[in-house]
Structure formats: C-alpha cells, structure tokens
C-alpha cells in the first residue's frame, strides 16, 4: 500500500539563474512539481520558495521554514526540481540529503535528476550531482568576478547608490554626474574640515542645520519613504568616509570590498594593493588643492578646540611657544577699552597659563598684530614665488636636499642590506628542506629552523616595504616645492585672513618671547608653510 505523503515543494531562483529564462522560474518550478504531486496521488501541504537567493548559502527563509515543518512532522516528503535548487555546495547539500531529511523521517526527491532517497542505489548519483552543482557555482562566481574586474578597470561605476554629491547618468548608469542638490553638502563638509572641525563636530553641525543624511537624500530622490528604519542623522563615520573618498577628485576607486569565497558571502575589506583605481572618470567636486589640504588635516596641529560659541579661534592649534614647544592658548577679554573695542583677542603660552612663570613666560601676542604679520609674510612669499620662482625653487630644493641626503643614504644602505639577506634566507630554507629529506637533521630541528627563517623573511620584507615608501617620500620634495610655488602665487593680493586659508597654507607658527635689542622690544615669529617648512629671507 502506497504511503500517503504530505509534500513540501521547494523552489529556488538565484539572480544568476534568472538569465536562463522562464524554464527555471519559481512559477514554472511550482507548476511542474504540483502536477507531479497530483499524478502520484499525494497531498500538497505547502510551497517553500527562495527567490533571488544564491545556492551557495543554506541560510534561506524558505528552506529554514521547510526544515522546521519537517521537524514538526507537518511534511514527510520534500520535492524539488533538481539538486541544484536545493543548493550548489556539495557538502551542505549532501548533509541535507544524507542526514537532515532522513533523520526527520522525510523522503527527498529531485525530480529531473532522478534522485529519490527512498531508493538505495543512487547514492553515487547524488554525490556526483552535488559535486557538479558545486563546480558550476565556483565557475559562475569566477566568471562574474572577471566581468566585475573588467568593469572596474574600465573606470565604470558599479554600485547600488551613487556617492553623495553625484547621481547616475540617465544615459549610462555606470557614469557619475554632479547632483546639484547634494553637491553643496559635500563641498560644505570639506570646507568645515578645512576650518578645523573634527569628524564628529561636522556631523553635529549638519544635524543642527537639519541637513538630510546621505540615505535620506536617496529616498527623497526616489520619492519614497525610508521603511528600513535607518537613522536619518549624520555621524562621524559617514563624514570621515566622505572626506576620504577619492571619487570627489573625479577618480574611481573600486574593488575595496569582496566576499570570503563563493560559498561564504560575508563582506570583507580588501587590502589597498587590490584596489582598482582609474583617474579622471568623471567631473570632480573639489580641487586637488582642497583634497590635499583636507588630508593633511589628519596629522595637522591646527585641529583646534571650539569655545563656548562653538567656533574655533582663527589661529587655534597653529601657534607654538618657541621656547617650550607647547601650544598657545586663545584668550578673550570683553572689557571696554579706550579704543572702543568691546572684545580683545590674544594668545599666550599654554604651559605658562597652567603652571605660571616657573613653567615658562607668557609669550603674549595680540591677534590683530599676528594677523598683520602673517598677512605680510604670505604676500611677500607669494610675490617672491611670482617674480623669482626659479631662484626660490633652487634655494628650497638645495635646503631639502642637504637635510634629506644623510637620511636617504641611511635608508638606502639598510634597504641594500635587506636585498642581500632575502636571497640568503631563501637558500637557507631550501637547504633545511634538503637536509630533512636526506635525513641529515631531525624533523623537529628542521621545523624550528624553518620557523626562524620564515619569521625573519617576513620581518625583512615588511621593513623593505617601509624603507621603499620612505625613500619614495624623500624623493617627492621636488613635487612638493612645485606644488607650494603654484599654490602661493594666488595669494599676492590677499586682503583678509580666514581659517581655511591659514590651514591650507601654514603648518605652524612659532612665537618667541619679547626681548630688548638696541633699546627697543623685538620678538621672533617663525612661520612654517605646508610642503616647505620655514623659509628664511
């Protein structure tokens, strides 16, 4: 007598399968399998479907529900079109057909493959089919990866959402064009950073101004509501990501993330060596000068602190005491003066302000005086760069060359020594293997030697990379000087001094204490410019 089966029909379709057309569609699978159930005189309990889900993962809503109903004895037969619908990982698929379903007293049939677990003569067929499906998934994954890599290398944008400030072109979704609605937000973020704002403070400022977050802008452009419950607020991570994204320079940098394998779809970050970078693929949102200035802010002393008003002092974080090296504290005095001023701004040595005259002296300087000194110096340097560019360039390069010559010689000597040692380590590793094979040394001794050699080799290789980078940086001095000369020529007629200009041009300013020379007071002020440092007249 034939057993009365309660059948659960399982159907699955991945995005890759969609290209095969209607023959593997969910509806086609359901119709074919339900007809088979009727022909056999069985009872159809329910359909279990996973649409758009890869066969290499077994954490699927439909499959999980099917297993639960089998566990609860609601079904005792699982029917699917073929083994590839159950999955394309031969180990996991085999676990379900050989262990999970039988342990639940559940028969399994893959109709088109002729697989039926009630028959004991097709175990080898099941194994071969599962292996073939796994190989198909591996091959498909490799082909998709190759297509994506080719797309990346051609500079085409591949992503669900365009970066904030851009939108996908209506003619070609792989091309970015500036979005007039969100581009001003990106430019404002870069401007706030130039003013010395930290990532968190920029986020707080944008939230205070009720600027929509990037995802909120996306839903607004789509004309639909954000139903995913994502926060509508800015945070420091979002701001930092925007400020580090070279897309705003007009460059495309992709292949930053990937999956663990074709079976494990967990997203991981890739090393920078695997990133694919293509320059000048679309219109930039910010200039190279702005980008360089913002990147310098990460290690720039001029981050500054905001006062009660929420603003950062003009020279905040830029000033240093020439004698003790500490920062200079911003001072404000609101008492009415004879000149009519209601606010008096100045700076003093922070160590003196905290520890008194035994720690240091005041180095007190009025902000108005300092503004005039810095303005004058910037104009002079700009005129010098305009009128005597080659002479100034030679002077700066000669100074840089003298300072870096000894450093370069030391770095190169160490790099040469590593270059000789690495081949020696390769020979020693090979010799250890040969000694072990020939029986000249015990296996334990061989393993110990190999571990030592391999550890030293990794250390040398890492040090070699560091030295190469340092040498490359020391050879960038010529580019740095040229960049500074190009930048300075725009400031010959500078009338007012604001914080973005200061941060863009100046690394730090050292202030000495006042001292008497020939009966009158003097003080030294050393201005260190970005790229080139302090320039003596």
Handedness of CA 229, 232, 236, 241 (dihedral sign): positive
The DSSP H or E segment spanning 431 is helix 389-437
Q: Are 208 and 198 in contact (CB under 8 A)?
A: no
Whether this model's pTM surpasses 0.75: no
3-class DSSP assignment, residue 190: helix
- Left (φ > 0), alpha (ψ -120 to 50) or beta: where does 41 sit? left
Structure tokens that stand for 142 in this block: 């490799």
Return per-residue pLDDT of the chain as tens, 537 residues: 357 899 999 998 876 555 444 445 888 889 889 999 998 899 999 999 998 887 778 888 999 999 999 999 999 999 998 888 888 776 777 788 878 888 888 999 988 887 888 876 555 555 555 566 566 556 555 666 666 777 778 888 887 888 999 999 888 888 899 999 999 999 999 988 887 788 888 899 899 889 988 888 887 877 777 666 566 788 888 999 999 999 999 998 888 776 655 455 566 777 777 788 888 889 999 988 888 888 877 655 555 555 555 567 888 888 999 999 898 998 876 555 565 555 678 999 999 988 888 889 999 999 999 999 999 999 998 888 888 888 888 888 777 766 666 667 777 788 888 888 888 888 888 887 777 777 788 877 778 887 888 888 888 888 888 777 767 666 556 677 887 888 888 888 888 888 888 888 888 999 999 888 888 888 999 999 888 888 876
Handedness of CA 50, 51, 52, 55 (dihedral sign): positive
Mutual orientation of helices 389-437 and 367-387 as an angle, nearest 10°? 90
Distance CA 245, CA 282 (A): 14
């Amino acid at each position: 007598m034939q057993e009365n089966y309660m059948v659960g029909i399982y159907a699955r379709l991945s995005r890759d399968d969609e290209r095969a057309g209607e023959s593997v569609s969910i509806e086609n699978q359901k119709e074919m399998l339900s007809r088979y159930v009727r022909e056999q005189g069985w009872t159809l309990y329910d359909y279990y479907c996973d649409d758009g889900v890869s066969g290499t993962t077994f954490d699927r809503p439909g499959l999980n529900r099917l297993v639960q109903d089998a566990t609860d004895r609601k079904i005792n037969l699982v029917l699917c079109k073929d083994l590839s619908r159950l999955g394309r990982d031969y180990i996991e698929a085999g676990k379900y057909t050989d262990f999970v379903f039988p342990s639940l007293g559940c028969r399994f049939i893959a109709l088109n493959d002729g697989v039926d677990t009630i028959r004991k003569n097709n175990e080898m067929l099941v194994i071969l089919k599962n292996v073939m499906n796994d190989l198909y998934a591996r091959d498909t994954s490799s082909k998709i990866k190759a297509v994506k890599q080719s797309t990346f290398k051609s500079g085409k944008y591949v992503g669900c959402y365009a970066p904030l400030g851009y939108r996908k072109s209506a003619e070609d979704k792989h091309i970015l064009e500036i979005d007039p609605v969100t581009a001003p937000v990106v430019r404002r973020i870069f401007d706030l950073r130039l003013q010395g704002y930290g990532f968190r403070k920029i986020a707080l400022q944008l939230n205070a101004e009720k600027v929509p977050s990037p995802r909120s802008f996306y839903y607004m452009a789509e004309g639909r509501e954000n139903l995913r419950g994502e926060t509508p607020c800015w945070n420091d991570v979002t701001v930092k990501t925007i400020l580090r994204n070279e897309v705003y320079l007009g460059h495309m940098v992709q292949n930053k993330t990937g999956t663990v394998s074709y079976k494990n779809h967990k997203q991981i970050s890739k090393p920078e060596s695997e990133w694919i970078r293509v320059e000048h693929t679309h219109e930039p949102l910010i200039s190279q000068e702005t980008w360089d200035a913002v990147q310098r802010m990460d290690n720039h002393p001029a981050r500054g602190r905001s006062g009660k008003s929420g603003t950062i002092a003009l020279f905040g974080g830029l000033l240093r005491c020439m004698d003790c090296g500490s920062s200079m504290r911003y001072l404000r005095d609101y008492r009415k003066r004879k000149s009519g001023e209601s606010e008096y701004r100045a700076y003093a040595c922070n160590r003196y302000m905290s520890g008194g005259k035994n720690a240091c002296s005041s180095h007190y300087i009025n902000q108005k005086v300092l503004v005039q000194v810095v303005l004058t110096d910037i104009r002079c340097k700009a005129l010098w760069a305009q009128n005597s560019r080659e002479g100034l360039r030679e002077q700066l390069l000669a100074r840089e060359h003298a300072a870096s010559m000894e450093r370069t010689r030391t770095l190169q000597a160490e790099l040469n020594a590593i270059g000789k040692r690495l081949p020696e380590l390769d020979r020693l590793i090979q010799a250890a293997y040969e000694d072990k094979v020939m029986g000249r040394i015990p296996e334990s001794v061989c393993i110990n030697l190999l571990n030592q050699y391999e550890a030293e080799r990794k250390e040398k290789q890492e040090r070699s990379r560091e030295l190469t980078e340092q040498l490359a940086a020391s050879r960038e001095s010529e580019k740095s000087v040229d960049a500074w000369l190009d930048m300075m020529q725009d400031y010959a007629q500078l009338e007012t001094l604001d914080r973005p200009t200061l941060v863009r041009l100046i690394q730090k300013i050292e202030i000495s204490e006042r001292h008497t020379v020939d009966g009158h007071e003097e003080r030294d002020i050393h201005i260190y410019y970005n790229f080139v440092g302090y320039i003596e007249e």
